[in-house]
Amino acid sequence: MNACFLLLAPLAGWVSLFAQVHYYWGEGSYYSYGWSIPFLSVALGFRRLRDRELQPEKIHHTSTSSAIALAILLLVLLPLRLVTEPDPYWRLPLWAQAFVLVALTLISLRMVLGKSAFRPFLFPCIFPLTALPWATGAESALVYTLSGWVTAIDTEIMLLCGQPAEVIGGVIQISGQRIEIDATCSGIRSFQCLLTFGLFFGEYFRLSWAGRGAVALAGLVFAFGFNLCRALVLSFIIIETNPKTHETWHDPVGYAAIVLSFLGLFAFARFVANLGKAPEHATEHVQFAKVRPAVAWLCLLLAVLPETITQAWFRYGVSKRPVPEWSIDWTALDENSSRFIPFRKTTMDILLFDHGKRALVELSDGSAAEIFYYEYDGSRPGASVCSRHHNPSICMSATPVERMGGDKTTTIEVGDASLPFLHFVTGEPDYLGHYSTHAFWCPWTPDSRIGTTHFENTPLSERLRGFLSGRVDYARKVLLIVFEGNRRLEDAQTDLRELTAKLLLPVEDE
């Protein structure tokens, strides 16, 4: 049997991984370019294969040691797949699966094409990793850093153009108008996308290591430069016109920036490729190896086994446990002291929630509280996954936000449901210890195994055993309550309890 049959084993593994990761490629995600990565990876692999000359009379056989290594890696995929399925928001097991699949693919290619296949096919096997979501900490740090740079440079350019601009937190204040550089304008989407395509062009044009580094760096420069231009254009639009016109031009200007940066990167990659030597084709003659049919069928069976067992276990082996529910009684708000405010279009495009409301409430002491509530009914898993880590530090990027008390929470009991809120403040306290703004954030997920919020400090061993008791629901509720006006930490917590006692209601089981 032709050894090419062995390639079906890693192919099945990659299909399974991409089926899990594709939720991160949604419309509002930083990784929306991920849909192209599987196809680009295959194209790079075929391009490498085309460079190799096949010689029918030279036949080699697969080694026993390689077959054993292949079988061991396929068996390792089973526990990794079981660990990943219960919590689709946990990114670490996805990366673990990907690294195993890279090794699995390289060993399979070595068995098919011989020892010389490792080096030329190394990059096409590693390239699919660019479709995976980054670690949450690195992703958040990139958002904050790029937002800060764009805001600072935008302000300086506005000053040079004669506009009296001033940075207050993450907001540019010009002639009484506020220009917010939110996460979408920070350039993180195009930053990651252009970095990925810079790596792709480096391999496609067979550039040297120096050339590949130059193209990848150029991708970052083009991404940041064109997004800075985007921020400047939108700033002048809102100064010269009105917020409605700004909303109209927000997306077209963004799309234009992405297209121009991509074309600039492609042109630069071609220029670098033309400066170097023409790529040399492999001179070694190779032939597909021969493999025993039993070995090939066993590898394919082991490749589909993780997905088969995982789906069977979570469908028939475990049952979903009931979780106490809660709801918001909007009628409890006084009509004379409260009003509903529509969400901004950019906010809706990022969060992609199924239902949501935003209300402004005047409190008895004359201060104000703003309530943001949105929920995901589970019908769109991608929307729930992509918005998972939009905490107040990101959604309130217009002001410097700091979390208080680390992972300590303010817990609100609503019937049998416990809602833990993280506490955030803005600015520095005054001499009495008062902060100007307090924000309480509760992302609630109906998951009876590891708690109801992803910021809870769950032991790693408990998360690894999560597959024994079911999977996390894609349905989520997020409640953010922001109190304006100087308060101590204790007073803000008291106000939160009073407001939620009136607003939140338990949902009785039917």
For residue 109, the enclosing domain spans 3-120+282-317
Write the CA distances from 59 to 56, 111, 112, 290, integer angstroms: 7, 12, 10, 7
The answer on 271 and 287 residing in a single domain is no
The answer on 40 and 167 residing in a single domain is no
pLDDT for position 251 = 74
The answer on 478 and 332 residing in a single domain is yes
Query: Which residues sit opposite 173 in a β-bridge?
Result: 166, 178
The answer on 361 and 329 residing in a single domain is yes
Furthest-apart CA atoms within the chain: distance in Å: 90
- Extract the tokens encoding 321: 């446990």
Instruction: In whole angstroms, give the CA distance from residue 315 to residue 26.
Output: 25
Number of domains in the chain: 3
Query: Which residues are CB-neighbours of 403 under 8 A, at least 6 positions away?
Result: 393, 422, 423, 424
The answer on 427 and 304 residing in a single domain is no
Per-residue pLDDT of the chain (510 residues; tens, 9 = 90+): 555 678 888 999 999 999 999 988 876 677 888 999 999 999 998 888 877 655 544 445 566 787 788 889 989 999 999 988 888 788 889 999 999 999 999 988 888 777 777 788 899 999 999 999 888 777 777 776 777 777 777 777 777 777 776 665 556 666 666 666 554 445 567 788 889 999 999 999 989 889 999 999 999 889 888 888 887 887 777 777 776 776 777 778 878 888 899 999 999 999 999 887 655 554 555 566 667 777 778 888 888 999 999 989 888 888 777 778 899 999 999 888 899 999 887 778 778 899 999 999 999 888 899 999 999 988 888 888 888 777 777 666 556 678 887 778 888 999 888 888 999 998 788 888 888 889 999 988 876 554 555 555 667 777 777 777 777 778 889 999 999 888 999 999 999 999 999 999 998 755
Residue count of the chain: 510
Note whether residue 382 is domain-resident. yes
Residue 257 CA, chain-centre distance (Å), reads: 21
Write the CA distances from 492 to 374, 414, 460, integer angstroms: 22, 19, 33
Which residue among 259, 292, 317 closes a domain?
Answer: 317
Note whether residue 350 is domain-resident. yes
The answer on 346 and 463 residing in a single domain is yes
Note whether residue 126 is domain-resident. no
Note whether residue 186 is domain-resident. yes
pLDDT for position 457 = 63
- CATH number for the domain spanning 371: value is 3.40.1000
- Nearest C-alpha neighbor of 444 from the set 471, 418, 483: 418
Q: What SS3 class is residue 16?
A: helix
The answer on 500 and 384 residing in a single domain is yes
Write the CA distances from 9 to 306, 381, 425, integer angstroms: 12, 28, 51
The answer on 353 and 489 residing in a single domain is yes
**Residue 378 neighbours by CB distance under 10 Å:** 14
Note whether residue 131 is domain-resident. no
- Extract the tokens encoding 340: 């509903």
Note whether residue 130 is domain-resident. no
Q: Identify the DSSP state of 442.
A: E
pLDDT for position 56 = 47
pTM beyond 0.75: the answer is yes
Instruction: In whole angstroms, give the CA distance from residue 74 to residue 287.
Output: 25
The answer on 482 and 359 residing in a single domain is yes
pLDDT for position 131 = 93
- Extract the tokens encoding 351: 């969060």
The answer on 414 and 490 residing in a single domain is yes
Instruction: For CA atoms 189, 190, 195, 201, give the dihedral sign.
Output: positive
pLDDT for position 57 = 42
Note whether residue 128 is domain-resident. no
Which residue among 243, 275, 307 closes a domain?
Answer: 275
Note whether residue 444 is domain-resident. yes
The answer on 384 and 307 residing in a single domain is no
The answer on 149 and 89 residing in a single domain is no
The distance in angstroms from the start CA to the end CA of the chain is 59
Question: Rg for the chain (alpha carbons), in Å?
Answer: 27
pLDDT for position 395 = 67
Contact criterion met (CB below 8 Å) for 133 and 31: yes
Residue located via tokens 């390792």 = 76
